[in-house]
Amino acid sequence: MQKFLLSTAAVLGLTSFAAAQDLAQAENAWFKAGQATIAARLAVQPNTNKARNVILFTADGNGVGTNYAIRLFEGQKLGGLGDDHVQPQEAFPYAALVKTYSTNGQTPDSAPTAAAMNSGVKTKNDLINMPDSVAVGDCAAGLATSMTLFSDIATQLGKSVGVVSTARITHATPAAVYARTVNRDWEDNSSIPEGCAQKDIAAQLFDAMKAGTIDLALGGGRQHFLPETVTDSEGKPGKRTDGRNITEEVKALGGQYVENDVDFMALTLGNNAPILGLFEPSHMKYEQDRSGEPSLAQMTEAAIKSLQSNDNGFYLMVEAGRVDHANHAGNLHRTLVDGVAFNDAIRKALELTSAEDTLIIVTADHEHAISFNGYCGRGSAITGLCMEINEAGVEHTGTPETAADGKPYTVAGYLNGAGSVLVEQADGSFSGTRPADLTNEIAMDPDYLQQALIPMTSETHSGEDVMVFAQGPWAHLFGGTIEQNVIFHVMNYAVNAQ
Amino acid sequence: MHRRPVLLALCAVTAAPWRAVAQDGPIRLRDLYNHDLSFSDLALAHEGKRLSIAGFMAPPLKADSQFYVLTKMPMAVCPFCEPGQAWPDDILAVYERRIVTVFPFNVPIVTRGILELGDHVDPDLGFYSRVRIVEAVTDRA
Ligand SMILES: [Zn+2]
């Protein structure tokens, strides 16, 4: 409401605002907030600048449901009831619902979903930047095809490219920024079948750094860059069987290589030499357990400050990779703590860039089998028990709701996974009952697994929609319900717009 | 950035107070470690002593063995995200008095035995551990 634009729409907005004064509820805080939202929407003007920079934020496994849980968790952490909290991306002017299915999966994995965002086409589960005419693992068919990635387009436009993830940097989502593979698991040469000439994902990252299509890569996955005869600074051996030490090869290119938070803080940023940071043998730690490693926000800050030295701009993909892993574990607490770390990274990017020239997109690759119970009163801790609604007030009564079995239940749960109430018995059958002694304190413990129904060793993804939020040049191209590959097309349009 | 006014919350949510280690019950696996994965004072104070520790049994590496790995949370395995899955850093190697009775990976268990600290590589399995319980007896929690 700071400035009213003298457009027809804004005048109409003022007219309806004036008429509202006559309504009995006009002074109600909700009514006023609704009016303020309308005024803010009327003031939104499409940004048709050419995008100098594009930042694609993806929280792996952060669908509509998981995003909702992070909203409440962060809001409650800040001392509120949670529901009314606004995450940074939720204040963006444009959003759309995204359909994440792959060409052969009603439920996708992170390979085809990340490929959709980086190549503009959907493909099959397990494939990264390969057309769906290729069978998974068909080495020859993969080598016979090619795809131009958004990182290639950005490079052709003279931009720098960075990739940041808390997962292994060779894991599906970050790999899709720079690699093409007929199997997402081919992260180092030891998993490539005999006689297959496709390069492993780590080797492809090196090639991209050498070619200048990737300027910065920060994440986990050190094991895929070291030979099995070499141990890293944590005493863990590499997995490569071809003798290559890719970390040394990056240094030989004149690049910087770091393995811990102290050396990370000492990196020289913006000198146009490649930067590789590999902070764990496998995935980086959950934010809950983080020690000796930079945070996602710190990596995002270093990436932007480094890439910003290119006057032609940059493309940066930032992944909160372990929201997905904690969901797989059925451990909502770690899911949400990593979700807050994701929000911190987005806030850092907003601080360091301008909406005038930087298109920021925040999305997820897919959702999980997470679900929510009712009827919980406001302020029920999102990781805790569903508390009774207070008919005389706002915040819950403090008394847990109980199910037909007389036992309390948590706000959130999973449809399947390790938290299943059906437990394997000595005879191999599955049965069980819900524990009677569940308290809010137990449920809110960082190591607690929310109850699940179907027993599985790992909770699954789901095919449910995810959101995309956007601000900056051509962000207004997002709207309605879209296919996931449209994200590439918005980025491509924004950087090439005349 | 935040255009929408935040409605005033009447009361703040009170977080559950951190539960102190129970005096007589089993300790939790995580109580052996500090946040930086160094050994906690509790671990150092109990080195060489008998201790009960609660956790979960990771699926045993070998059948009919006296060895298994205790984890603080059920060891979920994701086929998509974990080829060649790495062990978490905060685990406990357990050497039982007898052949291990296998419990499902998500059933809470308690193991009781003597706490050993320091690097050790299992001669048979090559399994590296920093902390172990030996002469252990394990049962459902
Ligand atoms: Zn996953």
pLDDT tens-digit profile of A343-353?
999 999 999 99
Task: Give the domain CATH number at A183.
Answer: 3.40.720.10
With respect to residue A277, please indicate whether it lies within any of the assigned structural domains: yes
DSSP strand pairing (B128-140 vs B67-71):
unpaired
* Cα A110 to averaged position of ligand 1 atoms, centre (Å): 7
With respect to residue A32, please indicate whether it lies within any of the assigned structural domains: yes
Q: Tell me: do A174 and A146 sit in the same domain.
A: yes
Position A472 scores a pLDDT of 98
B4 lies within 8 A of chain A by CB: yes
Cβ atoms of A266 and A246 closer than 8 Å: no
With respect to residue A198, please indicate whether it lies within any of the assigned structural domains: yes
DSSP B100: P
What are the tokens at B53?
A: 């520790």
With respect to residue A45, please indicate whether it lies within any of the assigned structural domains: no
B18 lies within 8 A of chain A by CB: no
Q: Whose CA is closest to A73, among A343, A327, A393?
A: A343
With respect to residue A48, please indicate whether it lies within any of the assigned structural domains: no
Domain that holds residue A429: 370-459
With respect to residue B10, please indicate whether it lies within any of the assigned structural domains: no
Q: Taking CB atoms and an 8 Å cutoff, what residues of chain A touch B87?
A: none
Question: Which amino acid is it at A162?
Answer: G
- Per the DSSP assignment, residues forming a β-bridge with A424 are A430
DSSP strand pairing (A412-417 vs A370-372):
antiparallel
Q: Taking CB atoms and an 8 Å cutoff, what residues of chain A touch B16?
A: 381, 384, 440-441, 444
- Rounded distance, CA A10 to CA A12, Å? 5
Whether A110 is catalytic: yes
DSSP strand pairing (A466-471 vs A94-99):
antiparallel
Question: Which amino acid is it at B137?
Answer: V
Q: Tell me: do A208 and A81 sit in the same domain.
A: yes
DSSP B29: G
- Rounded distance, CA B36 to CA B139, Å? 30
Position A21 scores a pLDDT of 62
With respect to residue B16, please indicate whether it lies within any of the assigned structural domains: no
Work out the burial of residue A24: count CB atoms within 10 Å of its CB; fewer than 13 is exposed, 13-18 middle, 19 or more buried. exposed
What are the tokens at A111?
A: 């390979």
* Span of A174-178, A382-386, B47-51, B79-83 with lowest mean pLDDT: B79-83
Length reported for chain B: 141
With respect to residue B83, please indicate whether it lies within any of the assigned structural domains: yes
Q: Tell me: do A439 and A480 sit in the same domain.
A: no
Element (DSSP H or E) covering residue B136 = strand B128-140
Task: Give the closest of B7, B10, B84 to A395, CB-based.
Answer: B10
What are the tokens at A295?
A: 């945070």
Q: Tell me: do A90 and A23 sit in the same domain.
A: no
With respect to residue A207, please indicate whether it lies within any of the assigned structural domains: yes
With respect to residue A59, please indicate whether it lies within any of the assigned structural domains: yes
Q: Whose CA is closest to B57, among B133, B125, B4?
A: B133
- Rounded distance, CA B22 to CA A100, Å? 46
- Rounded distance, CA A403 to CA A376, Å? 12
Number of folded domains in chain B?
A: 1
A420 lies within 8 A of chain B by CB: yes
Q: How many C-beta atoms lie closer than 10 Å to residue A372's C-beta?
A: 15
Say if the Cβ atoms of A86 and B90 lie within 8 Å: no
B3 lies within 8 A of chain A by CB: yes
A211 lies within 8 A of chain B by CB: no
Characterize A196-221 residue by residue with b for buried, 16 or more Cβ atoms within 10 angstroms of its Cβ, and e for exposed. bebbbbbbbbbebbeeebbbbbbbbb
pTM above 0.95, yes or no: no
Cβ atoms of B66 and B93 closer than 8 Å: no
Euclidean distance between the first and the last CA atom of chain B, given in angstroms as a whole number: 50
Q: Tell me: do A377 and A447 sit in the same domain.
A: yes
- Rounded distance, CA A392 to CA A381, Å? 20
Q: Tell me: do A429 and A302 sit in the same domain.
A: no
Cα B48 to chain center, whole Å?
18
Position A322 scores a pLDDT of 97
* Cα A166 to averaged position of ligand 1 atoms, centre (Å): 13
pLDDT class for B76, splitting at 50, 70, 90? low
Q: Tell me: do A453 and A471 sit in the same domain.
A: no
Say if the Cβ atoms of A185 and B107 lie within 8 Å: no
Please tell me which residue in A7, A16, A102, A110 is annotated as part of the active site. Answer: A110
Q: How many C-beta atoms lie closer than 10 Å to residue A20's C-beta?
A: 15
Cβ atoms of A182 and A142 closer than 8 Å: yes
Task: Give the domain CATH number at B52.
Answer: 2.40.50.870
Residue tagged 């005038």 (tokens):
A356
Q: Taking CB atoms and an 8 Å cutoff, what residues of chain B touch A328?
A: 76, 78, 81
For residue B106, give how far its alpha carbon lies from the nearest alpha carbon of chain A (Å). Answer: 6
Q: Which of B1, B80, B87 to mutate to test the interface with A (most CBs of A within 10 A)?
A: B80
A379 lies within 8 A of chain B by CB: yes
Q: Tell me: do A195 and A146 sit in the same domain.
A: yes
What are the tokens at A328?
A: 């797989």
With respect to residue A147, please indicate whether it lies within any of the assigned structural domains: yes
Say if the Cβ atoms of B81 and A379 lie within 8 Å: no
Q: Tell me: do A120 and A254 sit in the same domain.
A: yes
Lay out the sheet containing A412-417: strands in order across.
A370-372, A412-417, A452-455
- Rounded distance, CA A489 to CA A281, Å? 35
* Cα A319 to averaged position of ligand 1 atoms, centre (Å): 13
Q: Tell me: do A94 and A180 sit in the same domain.
A: yes
Secondary structure of chain A in the HEC alphabet? CCCCCCCHHHHHHHHHHHHHCCCCCCCCHHHHHHHHHHHHHHHCCCCCCCCCEEEEEEECCCCHHHHHHHHHHHHHHCCCCCCCCCCHHHHCCEEEEEECCCCCCCCCCHHHHHHHHHHCCCCCCCCECCCCCCCCCCHHHHHCCCCCCHHHHHHHCCCEEEEEEEEECCCHHHHHHHCCECCCCCCCHHHCCCCCCCCCHHHHHHHHHHHCCCCEEEEECHHHCCECCCECCCCCECCECCCCCHHHHHHHCCCEEECCHHHHHCCCCCCCCCEEEECCCCCCCCHHHCCCCCCHHHHHHHHHHHHCCCCCCEEEEEEECCHHHHHHHCCHHHHHHHHHHHHHHHHHHHHHCCCCCEEEEEECCCEECEEECCCCCECCCCCCECECCCCCCCECCCCECECCCCCECECEEEEEECCECCEECCCCCEECCCCCCCCHHHHCCCCCCCCEEEECCCCCEECCCEEEEEECCCHHHCCCEEECCHHHHHHHHHHHCC
Q: Tell me: do A382 and A345 sit in the same domain.
A: no
Give the count of alpha carbons within 13 A of A140, CB side only: 1
- Per the DSSP assignment, residues forming a β-bridge with A220 are A168
Number of folded domains in chain A?
A: 3
Q: Between residues 333 and 352 of chain A, which touch chain B (CB distance below 8 Å)?
A: 350
Q: Tell me: do A85 and A7 sit in the same domain.
A: no
Residues contacting residue A122 through CB under 8 Å, at least 6 positions apart: A101, A102, A103, A112, A115, A116, A132, A483, A484, A485
Position A18 scores a pLDDT of 52
Task: Give the closest of A223, A328, A381 to B76, CB-based.
Answer: A328
Domain that holds residue B129: 26-140
Those residues of chain A that have pLDDT short of 70 are 1-21
Q: Taking CB atoms and an 8 Å cutoff, what residues of chain A touch B74?
A: 329-330, 418-419, 449
With respect to residue B18, please indicate whether it lies within any of the assigned structural domains: no
With respect to residue B104, please indicate whether it lies within any of the assigned structural domains: yes
pLDDT tens string A198-239: 999 999 999 999 999 999 999 999 999 999 999 999 888 999
Position B126 scores a pLDDT of 81
